[in-house]
Amino acid sequence: MKPRANIILALDVDTLTKARYFVNRLYSKVKIFKVGPHLFTAFGPRIVDIIHKKRAGVFLDLKFHDIPNTVSNAVRQAVKLKVKMLTLHISGGEEMLKSAVKAASEEARKLKVKRPLLVGVTVLTSQKSSPQAILKLAKLGLNCGLDGVVCSVREAVFLRKNIKNKFLIITPGIRADNTVCDDQKRTATASEAIQAGSDFLVVGRPILRAKNPLKAAKKLFK
């Protein structure tokens, strides 16, 4: 089974020059680029503009987690940036999540733009947790109006079996094989993630560190 247009490249780089290089080099294969705290703190909306100029989508992965009012205001600003997706920590709680969903919907209607997909972070892939704990968090987020969750392949199968409603699964930590050891403990290959029911696959280092990034992307998702 081949993935649909669901590859997300994590732009975990230090400069706008590098970010622009990977966006331009990989756009034929990748249509969504993830902007995390590292890159956004350094360059802010400029990196979003670079991606949009290529007509690609932005996955703003800032993992909002604060009091409801602060998160709501942050979400409104993200809507103004016209990002395709953004993340929130489900552990922020029901009030925070509902407030974020409401803010996103209101701001999108006000600006007459498409509301970004709101996805909840269950447990970071660098951390250990039980499937039951992740299921509880996922259900909380979805019940509050989120569009999907971020989780590893190991939990994706469990969530699909235990949550009947339609929702998106975004899986980070995608690797070329399972022999790579780094700070992400729950990694998987692209084929494993697809078979587990993931809709969006986030990959970074296997492509960013390759001598030929485009070739690496094609090989990873062939």
Sign of the C-alpha dihedral computed for residues 51, 55, 59 and 64 taken in this order = positive
Burial class of residue 166, CB neighbours in 10 A (0-12, 13-18, 19+) = exposed
Q: Please give the backbone phi and psi of residue 151, each rounded to the nearest 5 degrees, phi first.
A: -155, 165
Q: In sequence order, what are the beta bridge partners of 10?
A: 34
Q: Where are the alpha helices (DSSP H) in 27-67?
A: 37-43, 45-53
Selected catalytic residue, list 18, 31, 54, 63: 63
Element (H, E) at 215: helix 213-220
169-208 burial: b if 16+ Cβ within 10 Å, else e: bbbbbbbbeeeeeeebebbbbbbbbbebebbbbbbbbbbb
Residue 84 falls in the annotated catalytic set: no
User: DSSP characters for 100-119?
Assistant: HHHHHHHHHHHHT-PPPEEE
Active-site amino acid positions: 63
